[in-house]
Amino acid sequence: MKHSLVFIAFLLMLNLSNCVGQKDTTTTTNKVYESCCGVEPVEFTFGDAYMFVPNVFTPNGDGINDYFVPAVNDDVLAFDAYLIYTAVGDTLLFDRNGFSYQNIPSWAWDGNRKDGSPYIGPFKYEFVVFLKNNIIYTVKGSACRVACGPDASVFKGKTTCFYPIQADTSGRLNKSFPSQELDCFK
């Protein structure tokens, strides 16, 4: 009997020790997403030129909102110095000189760090925009890279999240277009 109690106590301690140090990743990830889809502008107007920059994207390989890329109208000739930084701005995650809408997968950010590991949460971006009237602007802001799954369900009810797929044919944000992310936010 004494050995049975010692064995039971040992099993109980073993089970408790396995729990020590484990994190509730849902709570941790939800906290990472708290500042996403805030008050940052997503529409930039320069006279007749216009740029819509989504403030959230979901690179999960489903072909919907997989790349972080701005939409522009015809008065924007190009954008360059395409830079993505961590939320605090201390690490460069992605950079491109130039951009081609004909080959978005080769030019736009796919949500991964330079080493290929996924980045999750808020980030900062910066673009140099070249307009038809020979004016150059720098556009800066913040957005969020979301990993689809249970933690992403916090985005289901957010009304201030705007996705790449919500750009209409003129490059403008159309808030009536759905995000098409129902499977991502389950």
Per-residue pLDDT tens over the stretch 135-162: 999 999 999 999 998 888 888 878 899 9
- Phi first, then psi, for residue 28 (nearest 5°) are -60, -50
Other Cβ atoms less than 10 A from the Cβ of 169: the count is 8
CATH number listed for the domain at residues 41-166: 2.60.40.1080
How distant, in Å, are the alpha carbons of 65, 154, 159, 173, 174 from that of 179?
8, 14, 11, 12, 11
For residue 102, pLDDT beyond 60? yes
Q: What is the pTM of this model?
A: 0.81
Q: How far is CA 23 from the centre of its chain?
A: 23
Greater confidence (17 vs 136) lies with: 136
Q: Dig out the tokens for 130 from the structure.
A: 């070249």
Task: Kindly state the DSSP code that residue 21 receives in the 8-state scheme.
Answer: T
Domains of the chain, residue spans = 41-166
Position 19 scores a pLDDT of: 35
- Flag the least confident range among 16-20, 73-77, 100-104, 112-116: 16-20
